[in-house]
Amino acid sequence: MQLGTAVRRVHEDEAGHVTSAVGALVAGAGAVLLGIGAANDTGWLAVAGGIVAGVGIVGWEVLRHYSIDQKLMGRLDRMESKGA
């Protein structure tokens, strides 16, 4: 199985929420930068790390909502319309 096929299968599977992981990775990188900036008393790096971490957290939530919640609600709406 090719890597692209495997990633697509995991992404489209119920258990594969790869898209929302991007926001979490960005938030983690920002938190690391924040810690490095604070430990080295580098104010600009700490501020930049905090901003990147905040953007990552907000991005994670937006991506999660877009990739998981909307599809789930769409499926529920289709199920309800078939049953009614």
Check pLDDT > 90 for residue 7.
no
Confidence of residue 84 (pLDDT cuts 50, 70, 90): low
Cβ neighbours for 60, distance < 8 A, ≥ 6 positions apart: 20, 22, 23, 24, 26, 27
Residue scoring higher pLDDT (58 or 1)? 58
Instruction: Give the C-alpha separation, 43 to 7, whole Å.
Output: 39
Could you please report the per-residue DSSP string of 17-40? Answer: -HHHHHHHHHHHHHHHHHHHHHHT
The per-residue pLDDT for 74 is: 80
Residues 11-66 have pLDDT tens digits of 666 555 566 777 888 899 999 999 999 999 899 999 999 999 999 999 888 887 77
pLDDT, greater one: 46 or 83: 46
- pTM for the whole thing? 0.63
